[in-house]
Structure 1
Amino acid sequence: MPFSARIDVHQHIVPPVWAETLAAQGLDSGGWAIPDWSPKSAVAMMDQQEIATGILSVTAPGVHLGDDAQARDLARAVNEYGAEVVKDTPARFGHFASIPLPDVDAAAAEAVHALDDLHADGVVLMSNARGRYLGDPDFEPLWAELDRRGANVFVHPAQPPMDLLPGTPAPLADYVFDTTRSALNLVLNGVMNRYPNVRVILSHGGGFLPYAAYRFAGLTSTAIDRERKAEDILHDLKRFYFDTALSASPSALPALLAFAEPGHVLYGSDWPFAPQEAGSYYNHFLQAYPDFTPGQAEAINRKNAEFLFPRLAR
Structure 2
Amino acid sequence: MPPAHTVGLVDVHAHYVTDSYVRQAKAAGHLMPDGVPAWPSWSAAAHLDVMDRCGIDTAMLSVSSPGVHFGDDAAARDLAREVNEAGAEAVREHPGRFGLFASLPLPDVDGALAELAHAYDTLGADGVVLETNTHGTYLGDPKLEPVWAELDRRGAVVFLHPTSPVCWERSALGRPRPMVEFVFDTARTVTDLLMAGTLVRHRNLKVIVPHCGGALPVLADRVDGFMKMFMPADAQAPDAVEQLRRLYYDLAGPALPRQLPALLSLADPEHLLYGSDHVWTPAAGVEEHVRGLDAAPAPAGAASWRSLTTANARRILPGQPAPAAAATADSGASARAGREGC
TM-score range, shorter-chain basis?
A: over 0.9
Greater shift in the superposed pair: 52-61 or 247-256? 247-256
2:67 is the counterpart of 1:59: no
Q: Deviations over 1:83-115 (max 9, x none)?
A: 011001121100100000000111111111101
Instruction: Find the aligned partners of 1:257 and 1:66 in 2 and give their Cα distance.
Output: 39
8 Å CA contact retained: 1:112, 1:145: no
Instruction: Find the aligned partners of 1:100 and 1:93 in 2 and give their Cα distance.
Output: 22
8 Å CA contact retained: 2:212, 2:263: yes
2:211 corresponding residue in structure 1:
204
Instruction: Find the aligned partners of 2:307 and 2:272 in 1 and give their Cα distance.
Output: 8
Partner SS state of residue 177, structure 2: coil
Partner SS state of residue 158, structure 2: strand
1:151 corresponding residue in structure 2:
156
Match of 1:307 among 276, 292, 315: 315
Partner SS state of residue 217, structure 2: helix
Q: Deviations over 1:28-60 (max 9, x none)?
A: 421122101100000001111221111000001
Q: Which has the larger radius of gyration?
A: 2
1:14 corresponding residue in structure 2:
17
8 Å CA contact retained: 1:63, 1:75: yes
Instruction: Find the aligned partners of 2:232 and 2:102 in 1 and give their Cα distance.
Output: 35
1:189 corresponding residue in structure 2:
196
Gaps of 5+ in 2: 324-342
Match of 1:79 among 80, 84, 87: 84
Partner SS state of residue 242, structure 1: strand
> Which is bigger in relative contact order (C-alpha 8 A, separation at least 6)?
2
1:29 corresponding residue in structure 2:
33
8 Å CA contact retained: 1:220, 1:228: no
Structure 1 residue 116 displacement after superposition: 1.4
Match of 1:273 among 274, 280, 285: 280
Structure 1 residue 208 displacement after superposition: 1.1
Instruction: Find the aligned partners of 1:313 and 1:195 in 2 and give their Cα distance.
Output: 28
Greater shift in the superposed pair: 273-282 or 64-73? 273-282
Match of 1:42 among 47, 57, 69: 47
8 Å CA contact retained: 2:34, 2:178: yes
Kindly report the root-mean-square deviation, in angstroms, between the aligned alpha carbons of the 2 structures.
1.6
Q: Percent identity?
A: 45
Structure 1 residue 255 displacement after superposition: 1.4
Counterpart residue type for residue 321 of structure 2: L
Structure 1 residue 13 displacement after superposition: 0.6
Counterpart residue type for residue 127 of structure 1: T
Instruction: Find the aligned partners of 1:163 and 1:298 in 2 and give their Cα distance.
Output: 36
Instruction: Find the aligned partners of 1:29 and 1:240 in 2 and give their Cα distance.
Output: 28
Instruction: Find the aligned partners of 1:201 and 1:300 in 2 and give their Cα distance.
Output: 16
1:5 corresponding residue in structure 2:
8
Q: 1:215 to 1:239 in 2, by over 3 A?
A: same
Counterpart residue type for residue 260 of structure 1: A
Counterpart residue type for residue 249 of structure 1: L
Q: 1:216 to 1:117 in 2, by over 3 A?
A: same
Q: Deviations over 1:258-294 (max 9, x none)?
A: 2113421000000111112222332233222235212
Counterpart residue type for residue 24 of structure 1: A
Q: 1:154 to 1:278 in 2, by over 3 A?
A: same
Instruction: Find the aligned partners of 2:242 and 2:251 in 1 and give their Cα distance.
Output: 21
Partner SS state of residue 81, structure 2: helix
Partner SS state of residue 172, structure 1: helix
**TM, length-normalised to structure 1:** 0.95
8 Å CA contact retained: 1:192, 1:239: no
Show the 5 A alignment for 1:92-241: 92-164=97-169, 165-223=172-230, 225-226=232-233, 227-229=235-237, 232-241=239-248
Structure 1 residue 300 displacement after superposition: 3.7
Gaps of 5+ in 1: none
Structure 1 residue 16 displacement after superposition: 2.2
Counterpart residue type for residue 173 of structure 1: V
2:259 is the counterpart of 1:255: no
Partner SS state of residue 279, structure 1: helix
Counterpart residue type for residue 271 of structure 1: H
8 Å CA contact retained: 2:241, 2:266: no
